[in-house]
Amino acid sequence: MTGYIIRRLIYGLLVLVGVNVFTFALFFFVNSPDDMARAQLGAKRVTPEAVEKWKRERGYDKPLFLNEKMLGTAKVTNTVFFEKSARLFVFEFGASDQGRNIGYDISTRMWPSLAVQLPAFIIGLLVYISFALMMAFFRATYLDFWGVVLCVLMMSISGLFYIIGGQFIFGKLWNLVPISGYDTGFEAIKFLALPVLIGVISGIGGNARWYRTIFLEEISKDYVRTARAKGLSETRVLFRHVLQNAMIPILTGVVVVIPLLFMGALITESFFGIPGLGSYTIDAISQQDFAIVRVMVFLGSVLYIIGLILTDISYTLVDPRVRFS
C-alpha cells in the first residue's frame, strides 16, 4: 500500500506541474503583467513608469517561460513562471500582489469556509442517503414516484434561487436568522444556520436521486434476493447489505470532496458575507491578483489529489476484495 501511495503521490506531482503550467498560461493569455500592474495601481493617474516599476519589483518584467538573455539553467529559472511557481511545491505561498501574506490569509479564512461546508456536508450526506433509502424502500410506489418528481424539481432550481429565497423567507419574512453576516465562536451559529440549511436543501434533488439509483442497482442483485429469502427484514437488508455494498460508488463521490471543504463555496460565501476561501478566490480573480489565484488553484489541485488517494484507501476499508497493486 505504501508503494502505491508513493506512486500516486509522484503522479500527483506531475499533475500539479501540469495544473500550474495550465493556470499560468491561461492567466497570462487573458491578462498581461501590465494589466495586473494597472489593476493594482488603480484607475487614476497610472503612468507607464509606475507600471514598469511595479513589474520590476515583483519580477513580472521577466519573460514568462524562457529567458533567452540568460545562459544554462537560468534560461528557465530566471522567468516569471519558475520564480512564481517553484516555491509553491514547498508550500511557500509568498505575498499577494497587494503585498499581503497569502499563507496567513489562508490560515484565517479556511475556518469560516469549513464552518459552513462541514456541517452542510455531514447533515447533507445523512439527509440524502436517508431520503434515497426511503425512496428505494418504497420503490415502485407513489412515494417513490413523487419523491423522484420532487428531486427533479429541486435539482432544476438554481442555487442562487435557494439562497435569495432562503434569505427572504427565513431572514426577512419570518425574522428567524440574520440575512447575512458572520461571527466567531458561539455567535457564529445564528449566521451559519441558514447557509447550512440552504446548502443541504439545494443538494437534496441531485444527490438523493444519485444515491437512489445506486441503491436500486444493488437491490436488484442476487445477494439481496438471497438475504430476503433467508427471511431478513427489509430494514436489515437495506442497512446491513445494500448500504454496505453501495459504499464504493458513494465513497467515490464523497471522500474526494472532503479535503476540498476547506476551499469554501463561492456564491454562498458571497451572498452570506462569509469570509471564507471561496470569496477570497473570487476577490482575487476580480482584482487580478495572480499570486492568490495561482496559490488557490494549486491548493485546490493538491487537495483534490489527496481526496483521490483517500478515496482509493477508503475502498480497501469498505471492500476487502479491493487490493492495491
Partner 1 sequence: MTCNRSATLLLFFALTLALTAGCGGSAWNDPYPAADAGANTLYTSFSERPKHLDPVQSYAENEFAFIANIYQPPLQYHYLKRPYELIPFGATEVPKPVYLDAAGKSLPDSAPAERVAYSEYVIRIKQGVKYQPHPAFAIDESGKPRYLTLTAADLRGIDTLGDFKHTGTRELEAADYVHQIKRLAHPRLHSPILQLMGEYVIGLKDLADQLTKVAAGLPEEASVDLTQYAVSGVRIIDRHTYAVRVRGKYPQFAYWLAMPFFAPVPPEADRFYDQPGMAKKNITLDWYPVGSGPYMLTVNNPNRQMVLERNPNYRGETYPAEGEPEDGKKGLLADAGKPLPFIDRVVFSLEKEQIPYWNKFLQGYYDASGIGSDTFDQAVQFSGGDITLTEDMVARGIRLQTSLATSVFYLGFNMLDPVVGATPGERARKLRLAISIAVDQEELISIFRNGRGVPSHGPIPPGIFGYRDADAKGINPQVYDWVNNQPQRKNIEQAKKLLAEAGYPNGRDAKTGQPLLLHLDTTSSGADSKARLDWYINQFAKLGVQLVIRATDFNRLQDKLRRGTAQLYFLGWNADYPDPENFLFLLHGAQGRAQTQGENASNYKNAEFDRLFDRMKHMANGPERQAIIDRMIELLRHDAPWVWSYFPKDYTLHHGWVFNRKPNQIANNGLKYQRLDPALRVQRRREWNPPVVWPLVLIGVVLILSAVPAVAAFRRRERRTATMVQS
Using CB under 8 A, which residues numbered 27 to 46 contact partner 1?
30-32, 34-35, 38-46
Q: Does 59 bind partner 1 (CB under 8 A)?
A: no
Q: Are the C-beta atoms of residues 272 and 216 closer than 8 Å to each other?
A: no
Q: Are the C-beta atoms of residues 304 and 290 closer than 8 Å to each other?
A: no
User: In angstroms, rounded to a whole number, what is the distance separating the alpha carbons of residues 60 and 182?
Assistant: 37
Which cell goes with 137? 424502500
Q: Does 6 bind partner 1 (CB under 8 A)?
A: no
Least separation, in Å, of the C-beta of 79 and partner 1?
19
Phi-psi region of 42 (alpha: psi -120 to 50; beta: other; left: phi over 0): left
Q: Are the C-beta atoms of residues 36 and 96 closer than 8 Å to each other?
A: no
Options 72-80, 149-157, 171-179, 296-304: segment touching partner 1 (CB under 8 A):
171-179
Torsion angle of the four alpha carbons 61, 66, 68, 71, in this order, in degrees rounded to the nearest 10: 110
Q: From 301, 261, 291, 266, select the one nearest 96 (Cα to Cα).
A: 291
Choose between 293 and 308: whose C-beta lies nearer to partner 1.
Answer: 293
Of the residues 2, 29, 49, 320, which one makes contact with partner 1 according to CB under 8 A? 49
Number of alpha helices (DSSP H) and beta strands (DSSP E) in the chain:
16, 0
Q: Does 126 bind partner 1 (CB under 8 A)?
A: no
Of the residues 235, 240, 244, 253, which one makes contact with partner 1 according to CB under 8 A? 235
Residues 6 or more apart in contact with residue 228 via CB below 8 angstroms:
234, 237
Choose between 2 and 174: whose C-beta lies nearer to partner 1.
Answer: 174
Least separation, in Å, of the C-beta of 182 and partner 1?
5
Options 3-11, 214-222, 244-252, 301-309: segment touching partner 1 (CB under 8 A):
214-222
Choose between 246 and 308: whose C-beta lies nearer to partner 1.
Answer: 246
Q: Are the C-beta atoms of residues 277 and 296 closer than 8 Å to each other?
A: yes
Q: Which residues does residue 101 pair with via DSSP β-bridges, in sequence order? A: 95
Of the residues 245, 279, 301, 314, which one makes contact with partner 1 according to CB under 8 A? 279
Of the residues 125, 150, 159, 178, which one makes contact with partner 1 according to CB under 8 A? 178
User: In angstroms, rounded to a whole number, what is the distance separating the alpha carbons of residues 125 and 43?
Assistant: 47
Tell me the CA end-to-end span of the chain in Å, nearest whole number.
Answer: 8
Q: Does 313 bind partner 1 (CB under 8 A)?
A: no
Options 2-10, 64-72, 163-171, 302-310: segment touching partner 1 (CB under 8 A):
163-171
Options 114-122, 229-237, 240-248, 251-259: segment touching partner 1 (CB under 8 A):
229-237
Of the residues 89, 104, 161, 223, which one makes contact with partner 1 according to CB under 8 A? 104
Choose between 95 and 247: whose C-beta lies nearer to partner 1.
Answer: 95
Options 101-109, 150-158, 196-204, 257-265: segment touching partner 1 (CB under 8 A):
101-109
Options 2-10, 198-206, 268-276, 300-308: segment touching partner 1 (CB under 8 A):
268-276
Least separation, in Å, of the C-beta of 179 and partner 1?
5
Q: Does 262 bind partner 1 (CB under 8 A)?
A: no
DSSP letter string over 243-268? Answer: HHHTHHHHHHHHGGGTGGGGG--HHH
User: In angstroms, rounded to a whole number, what is the distance separating the alpha carbons of residues 71 and 167?
Assistant: 60
